[in-house]
Amino acid sequence: MLMCDATGLSQRRACRLTGLSLSTCRYEAHRPAADAHLSGRITELALERRRFGYRRIWQLLRREGLHVNHKRVYRLYHLSGLGVKRRRRRKGLATERLPLLRPAAPNLTCVVVY
């Protein structure tokens, strides 16, 4: 721990003061090598089908026989920097805008028949 080096406290003492358990402080996560293979396959599928997000890629992986948790696919998908670009909304045709006609008298409306 960097804090232990700076303050001169032992790791055990620093954990006791902060209320953390020592095993939590010393824990190191070990990602299996399967993540590398799975990440490569996710990238391949995402490049083949650019409009597919992580959910549809997860479905494709399941169809291939890889039964993987969807949260794991989400994590690897976003760590790889993949993502579907949002489609822009098309603007309508520009038409000439005219002001509304004012009625000549109260409770009188103009009706246009096409």
Please give the chain's pLDDT, 114 residues, in tens: 556 677 788 889 988 988 989 898 888 887 777 788 899 999 999 999 988 999 999 999 999 999 999 999 999 999 988 888 788 888 877 778 888 777 778 877 767 666
Task: Show the DSSP H helices in the chain as ranges.
Answer: 2-7, 11-18, 22-26, 34-48, 54-63, 70-79
pLDDT at 35: 85
CA distances from residue 80 to 45, 73, 86 in whole angstroms, order as listed: 12, 11, 18
pLDDT at 54: 93
pLDDT at 3: 63
CA distances from residue 64 to 81, 91, 103 in whole angstroms, order as listed: 23, 40, 68
pLDDT at 110: 64
Q: What would the two tokens of residue 68 be?
A: 């993987």
pLDDT at 101: 77
pLDDT at 2: 59
pLDDT at 109: 74
CA distances from residue 23 to 1, 15, 26, 31, 59 in whole angstroms, order as listed: 13, 10, 5, 18, 37
Q: What would the two tokens of residue 74 be?
A: 């989400």
